[in-house]
Amino acid sequence: MQKKIVVGYLTSINPMDKRSWSGTYYRMFRALEQQSFEVIALGPLHQPKWFLFSMRILDKVKQLFYGKNFNKQQRLLKSKYFGYQYKRILEKKNIDIIFSPASSAEIAFLNTSIPICYLSDTSFSQTYEFY
């Protein structure tokens, strides 16, 4: 009998929440399970209140200096935080491959030798001028 491939499903949102991203995260999670993969949810990732508060302060400072809003999901510090936290989580798990749908901020600074399969709903060129 062949060993099941273990997929780490990496999102900052709970993939078991049928309302997250209109149920897309949940349906993708279940579709992977139906393909006989062992799927382990690596999120949601807890963000401490002090961290969220400091991100809000930085957003206000940026808005004051630059006069415009920024994409709050694509913050550099938030991405570094995610990378650090997910690396710690992955060190405790036996994952063969990481599946990361629409989670570019979560994997941007993730330092791992585990292959990452990233799925996006857009391309960089489509969002470049928007953000």
pTM of the model: 0.80
Report whether 3 contacts 38 (CB < 8 A): no
Assess whether pLDDT exceeds 70 at residue 71: no
Distance CA 59, CA 53 (A): 10
Cβ neighbours of residue 59 under 8 Å, at least 6 residues apart?
69, 70, 72
- pLDDT at residue 131, rounded to an integer: 55
Confidence label for 74 from pLDDT (cuts 50, 70 and 90)? low
- pLDDT at residue 129, rounded to an integer: 63
Report whether 45 contacts 86 (CB < 8 A): yes
Residue 115: cis peptide before it, omega within 30 degrees of 0: no
Instruction: Return the amino acid letter for 30.
Output: R
